[in-house]
Amino acid sequence: MKNKRGYLSIVLHSHLPFIKHPEHEFFLEENWLFEAITEAYLPLYISFERLKREGVKFQLTMSITPPLISMLIDPLLMERYQRYLDSRLSFLRDEIRENKENAREKKILQFYLDRFEELNYFFDVKLNRDILSGFKKLQEQGFLEIITCTATHEILPLELNERIREVQVEVGIDAYKRVFGCAPKGIWLGECAYTNGVEKILANNGIKFTFLDTHGVLYAEPQPLYGVHAPIYSETGVAFFGRDPEASKQVWSAKEGYPGDFNYREFYRDIGYEISAEKVNKYLHPGGFRFDSGIKMHKITGNVPLDKKELYDREKAIETANTHAGNFMFNIEKEAEYLLSIMDREPIIVAPFDTELFGHWWFEGPDFIESLLRKIDKYSDKIETITPFNYLKKYPTNQLSLPAPSTWGDGGYFSVWLNEKNDWVYPHLYMMGKRMIELAEKIITPDNTVERALNQMGRELFLAESSDWTFLITTGTASNYSIDRVKFHINAFNELYEEVKNNIIDKNLLEFLEERDSIFPFLDYRVFRRKK
């Protein structure tokens, strides 16, 4: 019998912006999805399945955002992902045949071949190219609590139109229900962004809990007695859980945290930049364009130039991940013991992360998660894993307090998403929202073509509202693509608006937009009407 001291709640936030370019045979930014599936989503699913087969008891929370859901059920993108897998399998088989000299390199290539064959089996055979079905089953079996997100990860506090705020939540919940067959209990607010009033929208839509960065809970009014180690309730009954900074820091920080260990795989050196142009053309991109293949042969090694990195040792990396998992468990146990001494209940230690950290940025991340969950179940007599909703069932009485306006990310107060680089976006979004509501309330019985145009206007508005574009504009990562995407959606929306107003619809344009910007095929423009 465990003598529990507290609970660990791991929350994995799974999100990517909706990117689909059927007008191009290959499009570089579509690889963001393929990399995340290959390095994070499928490896984590395989780890969870392995733990389940072993009889390991665990509870873990995952958000899967509506844009990611839309991409993971899109036939074209899943067909292109299969092509992504097939190309790497072909490359690895040929490369192993050709590599007769270096036994260590051949061993690493064989590791990747085995890995890609396993990924291909799970994706194509076991899951029949339906990744979400696997996570859905894990939720039904009690291992996962899957939650939703605002429709396109919009920063709700920066949305001035109250009805658009509401629709972002309503459509996010609708997208979730259509895939998982039930209503979500929790929601991940885009960028954990909160301001007063958001809790009312969540409560009106049946949401029971959400998450904030540490300061969003610590600076609540009145100040929470237990800090971030117990949830607080708003007056509407929505519970807010705060991020535990110490637990997160051990994993997040590349300098102080585990991912920077010299035994782990080096992210910035990829074989796609080292093989011949002929091989790039044959296996990766018909035009010979070089980009990350996902096959990285070296370890971090130390603070040395990329050309001085040593070859990757998979066994040593797994051994290191197991050690780090044990260290993490030890630290959580000690924190829980201390907290229990000053609380009247077992504390909850909430550790939220971007899912893509585990596998993409930190290749061994899924191995760390798997080892941690196994160790906690088998060896810890002090902590258990739990989901926020199950913690609320155990402790339904919590402090009433109003959270502080906040975000996570650099600075913690919206500046990443609203600054001199991207502030030009928001007047357009505000006007688009007004126009969407105007036409939704004005047009009652449109013909089929006009109705399709109105629905597509809603999609273009949603896609323009994604927080990813303003984030990437700020960071300078893919900023040109992000600026182009925002401008594309603004222009597409405004063109459709004028066509609907004048009842002259360009069907070729409409069909092109429906195929490319195909997020939320179920969308009905009437959802934008204000509630009476």
CATH number of the structural domain spanning residue 355: 3.20.110.10
Instruction: Measure the CA–CA gap between 329 and 344, rounded to whole angstroms.
Output: 22
- On whether residue 162 sits in a domain, the answer given is yes
Q: What is the CATH number of the domain that holds 458?
A: 1.20.1430.10
DSSP per position, 453-480: HHHHHHHHHHHHT-HHHHHHHHHTTTHH
Which of 400, 435, 451 is where one domain is finished?
A: 400
| The pLDDT of residue 253 is above 90 | no
Q: Is residue 53 part of a domain?
A: yes
Q: What are phi and psi of 212, to 5 degrees?
A: -130, 160
Q: Alpha-carbon distance 154 to 122, whole Å? A: 32
Query: Cα(first)–Cα(last) distance of the chain, in Å?
Result: 55
Q: What is the pTM of this model?
A: 0.96
Q: How far apart are CA 376 and CA 113, in angstroms?
A: 31
| Domain identity same for 49 and 194 | yes
pLDDT tens-digit profile of 318-362?
Answer: 999 999 999 999 999 999 999 999 999 999 999 999 999 999 999
The answer to whether residue 180 sits within a structural domain is yes
Residue 110 included in any domain: no
- Residues 357, 445 share a domain: no
Q: Are residues 385 and 245 both part of a single domain?
A: yes
pLDDT of residue 391: 98
Residues 448 and 511 in one domain: yes
Judgement on whether residues 495 and 348 belong to the same structural domain of the protein: no
Same domain, 395 and 442: no
Asked if residues 358 and 35 have their Cβ atoms less than 8 Å apart, the reply is no
pLDDT given at position 2: 53
CB distance 363 to 314 below 8 Å: no
Residue 112 lies in a domain: no
If one counts the domains in the chain, the total is 2
Task: Summarize pLDDT for 428-476 with one digit per residue, the tens.
Answer: 999 999 999 999 999 999 999 999 999 999 999 999 999 999 999 999 9
Supply the DSSP symbol for 526: G
Tokens of 523: 């969308």
Residues 375 and 444 in one domain: no
Interatomic CA distance for residues 148 and 141, integer angstroms: 18
Q: Is 204 exposed, middle or buried (0-12, 13-18, 19+ CB in 10 A)?
A: middle
Cβ(370)–Cβ(47) below 8 Å = yes
Whether residue 471 lies inside any domain: the answer is yes
Measured between alpha carbons, how far is 403 from 391 in angstroms, rounded to an integer? 19
Report pLDDT for 1: 40
pLDDT score recorded for residue 254: 61
Q: Which residues contact 175 (CB under 8 A, 6 or more apart)?
A: 66, 69, 70, 148, 151, 520, 522
Q: How far is residue 129 CA from its own chain's centroid?
A: 19
Residues 212 and 340 in one domain: yes
Q: Are residues 148 and 228 in the same domain?
A: yes
Per-residue pLDDT reduced to its tens digit, 291-322: 999 999 999 999 999 999 999 999 999 999 99
Asked if 15 contacts 153 with a C-beta cutoff of 8 angstroms, the reply is: yes
Domain check: are 351 and 481 in the same one? no
With beta carbons less than 8 A apart as the criterion, state whether 147 and 186 touch: yes
CA distance linking residue 52 with residue 58, whole number of Å: 9
DSSP state of 41: I
Q: What is the extent of the structural domain holding 155?
A: 6-73+130-256+316-400
Token reading at 4: 């529990």
Residue 280 lies in a domain: no
pLDDT of residue 3: 64
Specify the length of the chain in residues.
532
Q: Is residue 442 domain-shared with residue 347, that is, in the same domain? A: no
Residue 415 lies in a domain: no
- pLDDT tens digits along 183-202: 999 999 999 999 999 999 99
Given a contact cutoff of 8 angstroms between Cβ atoms, the answer to whether 267 and 365 are in contact is: no
Would you say residue 62 has pLDDT above 90?
A: yes
What positions carry a catalytic annotation?
Answer: 191, 354
Domain co-membership, 455 together with 498: yes
